[in-house]
């Protein structure tokens, strides 16, 4: 097949970085000046690894998902797009390229624009989960600080931006034990991220993430990954925060954060997998996704969030859950990427 790989690359420095930040500041959202601005975007290392994997069997054309993406895709002769683009600005950013692809009638891997947008809005996701009785932490959405006078959750809570990924905006300080800490974190999210704050009751139990590949009846949960905090400093708040993901755990000094398969009994494994697969189904995810889960005080798996465009760092020494689960299942990086392409091609009746 002819495959177009649609991607956004993390600006390293120089002209493109400046162009991107000026595009952001010309948009009607606030320019984001945080250190984690591009945390979601991929590096060339990842993009080239996906390209190499696809090239094992297919012709691959790289299409950067920039402001000329529509024209480039219109010219493209691809049969299908392998989409890993995170998009520009706003809660529907991950939907931008899939929406263009639908307009041009080009099949693509992964979820549709609706699912991608809903999944980025963690409160909309939780509303759907709640409708289907899928356990998730009690929550409140705060658009303005004065709404905190109606706050009725139990402490401790976690405060996060309503629509970010890759732990953007989630720091150790996001864990709030009292009203003062809550207020200052809500202010930080409202000011720095220009979006509502999602406040959730803190789930104190073990944490897992489940990679899923497939569709409909044949969607399959890969071996469960556990995120454990034993290797972190003693006083570290056990959340997979920006500090945990990008500062404390580095390639030079890797921490033992993930174990896969998770060391859990069969009944818990079944419960976690069925919660994840049910979530995949009710959110109408397609082809692949990663579902984050944490146990509540009664050891019930609760869904934290859904990642329909999961992180896929290629180097096994970088901690990346989806490729790790795939490796445990018996798929190397090339096989994992091509399996996602295969299920998408099959769903689109291309094979
Ligand atoms: N309600 C909660 N109770 C306990 N811990 C939580 C809760 N919500 C989030 N966390 C912790 O914060 C981490 C990051 O939260 P979340 O998954 O919502 O952020 P994210 O930035 O979208 O993550 P990702 O990198 O997976 O896209 C989780 O992995 C978990 O450790
Ligand atoms: Mg997460």
Q: Of 150, 184, 201, which one is at a domain's C-terminal end?
A: 201
Q: Of 201, 227, 253, which one is at a domain's C-terminal end?
A: 201
- For the chain, percent of residues with pLDDT exceeding 90: 79
Per-residue pLDDT band for 170 (boundaries 50, 70, 90) equals very high
d(CA 273, CA 212): 9
Residue nearest to atom 24 of ligand 1 (CA): 166
Task: Read off the pLDDT of each residue in 101-121 and give the average, rounded to a whole number.
Answer: 98
Residues whose Cβ atom is located within 5 A of ion ligand 2: 292
Instruction: Judge whether 116 lies within some domain.
Output: no
Instruction: Judge whether 118 lies within some domain.
Output: no
Distance (angstroms) between ligand 2 centre and the Cα of 348 equals: 29
294 Cβ closer than 6 Å to some ligand 1 atom? yes
Which ligand approaches the C-alpha of residue 120 most closely?
Answer: 1
Domain that holds residue 193: 138-201
Same domain, 187 and 302: no
249 Cβ closer than 6 Å to some ligand 1 atom? no
Which SS3 state, helix, strand or coil, does residue 343 take? helix
Residue 26 has pLDDT above 50, yes or no: no
Same domain, 189 and 235: no
pLDDT in tens, 69-96: 999 999 999 999 999 999 998 889 999 9
Which ligand approaches the C-alpha of residue 166 most closely?
Answer: 1
207 Cβ closer than 6 Å to some ligand 1 atom? yes
- Which tokens sit at 20? 């991107």
Instruction: Judge whether 144 lies within some domain.
Output: yes
Neighbours of 190 (CB within 10 A): 17
Same domain, 339 and 216: yes
Instruction: Judge whether 69 lies within some domain.
Output: yes
d(CA 329, CA 336): 10
From the number of C-beta atoms within 10 Å of its C-beta (0-12, 13-18, 19+), residue 22 rates as exposed
Residue nearest to atom 21 of ligand 1 (CA): 167
Residue 33 has pLDDT above 80, yes or no: no
Same domain, 169 and 197: yes
Q: What's the CATH code of the domain at 220?
A: 3.30.470.20
Which ligand approaches the C-alpha of residue 199 most closely?
Answer: 1
Q: What's the CATH code of the domain at 188?
A: 3.30.1490.20
DSSP label at residue 173: G
Q: What is the pLDDT of residue 12?
A: 72
Q: What is the largest CA-CA distance in the chain?
A: 58
Contact 17, 94 (CB under 8 A): no
pTM (two decimals):
0.92
């Amino acid at each position: 097949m002819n495959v177009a790989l649609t991607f956004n690359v993390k600006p390293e420095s120089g002209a493109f970085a400046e162009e991107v930040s000026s595009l952001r500041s010309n948009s009607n959202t606030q320019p984001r000046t945080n250190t984690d601005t591009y945390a979601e975007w991929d590096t060339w290392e990842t993009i080239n690894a996906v390209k190499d994997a696809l090239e094992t069997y297919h012709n691959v054309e790289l299409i950067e998902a920039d402001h000329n993406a529509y024209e480039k895709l219109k010219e493209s002769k691809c049969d299908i797009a392998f989409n890993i683009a995170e998009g520009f600005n706003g809660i529907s950013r991950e939907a931008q390229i899939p929406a263009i692809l639908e307009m041009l009638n080009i099949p693509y891997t992964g979820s549709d624009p609706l699912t991608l947008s809903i999944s980025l809005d963690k409160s909309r996701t939780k509303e759907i989960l709640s409708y289907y009785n899928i356990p998730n932490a009690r929550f409140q959405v705060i658009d303005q600080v004065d709404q905190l006078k109606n706050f009725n959750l139990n402490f401790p809570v976690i405060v996060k931006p309503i629509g970010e990924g890759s732990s953007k905006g989630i720091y150790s300080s996001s864990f709030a034990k009292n009203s003062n800490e809550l207020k200052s974190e809500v202010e930080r999210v409202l000011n720095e991220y220009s979006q509502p704050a999602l406040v959730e009751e803190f789930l104190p139990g073990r944490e897992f993430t489940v990679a899923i590949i497939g569709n409909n009846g044949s969607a399959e949960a890969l071996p469960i990954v556990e995120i454990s905090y034993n290797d972190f400093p003693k006083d570290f708040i056990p959340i997979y925060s920006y500090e945990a993901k990008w500062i404390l755990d580095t390639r030079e000094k890797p921490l033992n954060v993930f174990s896969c398969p998770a060391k859990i009994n069969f009944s818990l494994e079944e419960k976690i997998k069925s919660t994840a697969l049910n979530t995949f189904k009710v959110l109408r995810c397609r082809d692949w996704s990663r579902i984050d889960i944490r146990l509540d005080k009664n050891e019930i798996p609760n869904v934290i969030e859904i990642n329909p465009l999961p992180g896929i760092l290629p180097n096994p020494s970088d901690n990346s859950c989806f490729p790790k689960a795939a490796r445990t299942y018996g798929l190397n990086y090339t096989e994992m990427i091509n399996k996602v392409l295969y299920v998408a091609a099959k769903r689109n009746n291309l094979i």
